[in-house]
Chain A
């Protein structure tokens, strides 16, 4: 075996890992801290709290899948095993596709490794507009450094792949800012399969970094366990109830797990954490719970290039441009970050969204197709309040997200920027991923046509891979679910440590923002619980 499986060895050495689908009788589990969710927030919290000597219980709805099961490097297997709703999750109306992880390690197991510090403008906006304290640029700097060291985060030192090179070339030709993306990898093979689970454990996701350390220090990991409810009385959580899932990873087996802890950390991410708190009917006197869900709405532009792109191979994201991010200020017309997505056949078929002869042509051209994406920075002005999470009859989360004229204006400008960059990089033809857009053969043609595109849901293909907000932090209990340290405003022994505390979108891929903020708040929590 060329790549040793960390978990096979760890479990053999005595790590406490429980697959809840194997449980046949009700259980009660006790701990100092129960962490619900094992992604960027829960993984960091588990390591810090375990190292502080606390007895940690880490609970995860998704399965434990490790490098051994990633070795097939197969797109279809990854979607069905590692993503929420088999990668077919979407907003309530089906208009925005949601790519979100669902496994031990959460989305960090399947993300594309881009690791940016929270922009100073965003942190400043939180302090002045959302009554956030203790997370200014200077407060955060040591935490960014700590997590960058912990996860070996550094700008990608190898050459960008052809897909990323198109963006770089376009930006250079137009005099636009671009930069090399920092990544959380060590001894990376430059394969390009980050989204399917790293087969060589080079990506320092929570799966292979913090969670193993927590397990080394006595934490217990229970996976395939869906925490249904937090029980509360007198302003405190008294216990949690979880449903063990059966082997299919979705259907409850009927076995109930009761959790008793001194402190509870909700870390399920911006869809599942608000849903858990809603199911638990926690006090929400100012109706902030599940509000302001920010998603960095994504639009995409496709380009037919004269050269081979092979967008399925090589580090998926290594070049980004912030040229349009802050150019009109923090609260001007919507800013956006330009990047590229990897282009595997399945995801690409969904992006081109064509049928018949056109689909055949689109797919036959995949190896010479470049795609650029724009992450729209949402949540910074009153015309962009984000969406919200509510519950279906069975308690599962439903995400609503409407696009205002303000957001559509950003999306149209993003289509223009992407097409301009692609033509400047030598594209023969460019087409926005939009039902009404054919391939354009020149920037002039594209500019005129994009100006007239109807900007509507289902016509514009929309995506998100960044789920934030819904349990926003603020020192003002009227404006947030939790305070700046993630402590619930109404419940004494409950913290939220994940991306759902963000008051706005980040303006960059959020994983390092979640890592650093979680490290800071989990360290404060460890101190508090230790005394």
Chain B
């Protein structure tokens, strides 16, 4: 994702700008620096930098983000019975983690910057208008995604797109979700012939 420095008129990017204009590139760099510093200050430096248990790329903070965002992106997920929902969400997170783990280093670094930024509460509130992930309602999360994706800043468009696509593709490749996409799976008779 590229950084940009274009002035934003107050009325066009509301949730984002607190002043008449805002240098998005500068904010992103400063925010990334703060993100590192806040981690140290809050005493969760090294532990928070390791992948969560059972994951190759995603850290605990990322799991919080995607656990909140996934049911907002995929409403079907939110509407599953509690037990099933946890298992399905787990499948999505692991699928998503496998994709992130397969990315080249340069892509992982870009994604890491985005996720780190959104992991720090004050920055998340400033840039996304979201408080604690676990308490954010669907409307708030939808507003965040819609705002980023309609922003005139390519950087925010890119961020909004990548979060949505990582979740939606990781969800709809799961065989358990095929009924929701009307995909019956491999044609049964031929599948049997091939696997006999």
- B-binding residues in A (CB < 8 A): 1-3, 71, 73-76, 79-80, 85-90, 92-95, 189, 191, 193, 199-200, 250, 312-313, 344-350, 353-357, 359-360, 363-368, 392-394, 396-398, 435, 456-459
Contact = CB atoms under 8 A, between A and B. Distances in A.
A242 to B, nearest CB: 18
Given A71-B195, A349-B169, A458-B161, A191 B187 contact: yes
B6 to A, nearest CB: 13
Contacts of B171: 349
Interface of B: 1-2, 72-76, 95, 98-107, 110, 138, 142, 145, 149-150, 154, 157-158, 161-162, 164-165, 167-169, 171-175, 177-178, 180-183, 186-187, 190-191, 193-196
Chain B at the A interface: SS class:
helix
Given A85-B103, A85-B107, A398-B106, A199 B182 contact: no
A393 B154 contact: no
A92 B2 CA distance: 9
Among A1, A250, A345, A350, chain B packs the most CB atoms within 10 A around the CB of A345
A366 B106 contact: no
B181 A76 contact: no
Contacts of A355: 72-74, 142, 145, 164, 167-168
Contact of A396 (B100, B106, B194): B106
B117 to A, nearest CB: 15
B98 A80 contact: yes
A368 B167 CA distance: 23
A531 to B, nearest CB: 42
A356 B154 contact: no
A64 to B, nearest CB: 18
Contacts of A458: 154, 157-158, 161
Contacts of A94: 1, 107, 110, 158, 161-162
Interface SS, A side: loop
Contacts of B191: 73
B171 to A, nearest CB: 7
B182 A364 contact: yes
Given A89-B107, A364-B181, 4 more contacts: A200-B194, A367-B181, A368-B182, A435-B149
A435 B193 CA distance: 42
A350 B162 CA distance: 10
Contacts of B165: 349-350, 353
B75 A360 contact: yes
Contacts of B99: 79-80, 86-88
Given A94-B162, A357-B75, A366-B182, A3 B104 contact: no
Contacts of B196: 1-2
Nearest to B177: A345
Contact of A367 (B142, B158, B183): B183
A442 to B, nearest CB: 25
A348 B1 contact: no
Contact of B169 (A193, A346, A365): A346
Contacts of B76: 360
A348 B181 contact: yes
Given A2-B194, A94-B162, A356-B72, A346 B173 contact: yes
19 contacts: A71-B195, A85-B102, A88-B102, A88-B103, A89-B107, A94-B162, A313-B187, A346-B172, A348-B172, A355-B164, A356-B73, A363-B172, A363-B181, A364-B180, A364-B182, A367-B181, A456-B154, A457-B157, A458-B158
Given A353-B164, A458-B154, A394 B105 contact: yes
A356 B74 CA distance: 6
A363 B106 contact: no
B107 A76 contact: no
Given A313-B187, A355-B72, A79 B173 contact: yes
Contacts of B98: 80, 86
Contact of B183 (A90, A93, A345, A394): A345
A368 B181 CA distance: 10
Given A346-B169, A356-B142, A392 B105 contact: yes
A89 B173 CA distance: 17
